[in-house]
Structure formats: C-alpha cells, structure tokens
C-alpha cells in the first residue's frame, strides 16, 4: 500500500546546480505534506512543509511545489551543496477517522551532491 | 533546541527475547509516536499515543508490541518476543501542534 511514492531511489547532481526531488501520492485526504532529510545513523529532521491549500512554499534554498490535481509535489534545492547529500523523505499527513494524525512516508531518495 | 532522546542507540537481542526501547519526548509535547525503518525500506508508522492511551496503531503493531508512558516523561516501546523481522531502526517522535513532529535519532534493533 504505497500511498506516498518516491520513484527515484537516488539522484546525483553537481554542486551549484538545482536538485529536484519528486513525490507522488494517491490519497486525496492528505492535507499536509512534509519533506524530511536523513543522515545515516540519525533520525529524520524536518526540512520544509506545505499545506494542501497552497501550491508553493519557499525557505531559503528550499522550495516545495504542490500540484494537487496531479497529486504530485517536488522539492527544489538551489543551489545544491555537498552538505545537502542525504536521504530525503516525502511525508504526507492526514487526520484519521479517529481524530488522530499520522505521517505516511515515501521510500526516500538518496541525494548526492558532487563537489 | 529541544530534542527527542532515544536509548539505547543500538540493541542486539536474541530471537524470542523481550526488548524495551526508550524515548524521552520533548517535555511539553502531547502526542507521541513510534515509527520504524527496516533497512532499505520506507519509514513506517507503528503507533500513536495521546492522553495516556493509544490513539492509532498500524497492522504491524500486533500483540507482541506495547507502549507505555510510565512516569510522565519516558515513552517506551516493548516487543515481547522478538523475531528476526523486527530488526530495524525504531524512531520515536513527539509533537505539540499539528504537523510539528520532532524525531529522535533512533534505536537500531538487531535480532539474531
């Protein structure tokens, strides 16, 4: 049951160029989307998020775009830096029937930024 | 910046043994979670906990699993009789407001 899909397991870009990480989802009840960054042996750390009522959110070098009709979101990192090399997880949140909230994660995309 | 603390960082246990994974959430957070990531796979939701009770659990969270908040600060995940397939990174998370999750650095559980 892959409600959140990250179809690219890995991505390699040159330092200074743009990194674009993609995410697709199937559940139209998702109302909030988050990107997490994860280094080896560490927990996911929050990067940026977007509400379903918006189509773009920007924070410094990071911009998330949401296309609700296509059920697609993307994370743009520009310019990419070697320190951005990590696994990036797309996550979606929904309030369940019971009123609780949980995150559903994609499988992650390993980004490598080459100097 | 407040952190979610997990101990131990690595636990090796024999199949069939009980393990307890410990978490200290951020003190004013109200919602607590356990997630796990089997090597090479996605991060999966296990259970959410609010107001001293489980608010939701996944299919993975069967009778072998239990959670407790024994003393108002710790939040534990117990696996009663570990199986090889329980080997994974287990992440604790807490939040105060909607979507404001903070994750711990994880406990790597290896069942041999």
Q: Over the stretch A26-73, which tens digit does the pLDDT of each residue have?
A: 998 898 999 999 998 788 999 999 999 999 999 999 999 999 999 999
The stretch B66-86 carries a mean pLDDT of 93
CA distance B36 to B30: 20
CA distance B47 to B53: 10
Res A95 pLDDT > 90: no
Share of chain A above pLDDT 70, in %: 95
**B82 part of contact set with chain A, CB < 8 Å:** no
B56 with A103: Cβ contact below 8 A: no
The predicted structure's pLDDT at residue A18: 98
Alpha-carbon torsion, ordered B8, B50, A96, A6, to 10 deg:
-20
Alpha-carbon torsion, ordered B44, A48, B54, B92, to 10 deg:
70
Residue with tokens 């995309």, as numbered in its chain: A109
The predicted structure's pLDDT at residue A51: 92
pLDDT band at A1 (very low <50, low <70, confident <90, very high): low
A41 with B106: Cβ contact below 8 A: yes
Facing residue for B56 by CB, picked from A36, A45, A102: A102
**B33 and B99 Cβ atoms separated by less than 8 Å:** no
Beta bridge partners of A14: A114
Nearest to A37 by CA among A113, A114, A109: A109
- Chain A nearest C-alpha distance from B25 (Å): 13
**B41 part of contact set with chain A, CB < 8 Å:** yes
């Amino acid at each position: 049951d892959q409600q959140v899909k990250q179809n690219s397991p890995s991505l390699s870009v040159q330092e200074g160029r743009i990194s674009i990480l993609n995410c697709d989802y199937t559940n139209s009840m998702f109302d909030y989307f988050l990107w997490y960054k994860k280094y080896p042996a560490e927990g996911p750390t929050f990067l940026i998020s977007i509400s379903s009522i918006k189509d773009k959110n920007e924070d410094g070098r990071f911009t998330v775009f949401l296309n609700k009709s296509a059920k697609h979101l993307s994370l743009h990192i520009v310019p990419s830096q070697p320190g951005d090399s990590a696994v990036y997880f797309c996550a979606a949140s929904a309030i369940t029937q019971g009123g609780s909230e949980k995150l559903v994660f994609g499988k992650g995309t390993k980004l490598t930024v080459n100097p | 910046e407040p952190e979610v603390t997990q101990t131990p960082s690595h636990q090796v246990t024999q199949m069939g043994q009980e393990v307890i994974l410990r978490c200290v959430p951020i003190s004013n957070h109200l919602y607590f979670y356990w997630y796990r990531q089997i090597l090479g796979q996605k991060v999966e939701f296990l259970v959410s906990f609010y107001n001293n009770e489980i608010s939701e659990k996944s299919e993975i969270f069967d009778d072998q699993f239990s959670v407790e908040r024994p003393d108002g600060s710790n939040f534990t995940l117990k696996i009663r009789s570990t199986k090889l397939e329980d080997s994974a990174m287990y992440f604790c998370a807490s939040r105060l407001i909607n979507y404001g999750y903070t994750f711990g650095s994880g406990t790597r559980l290896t069942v041999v």
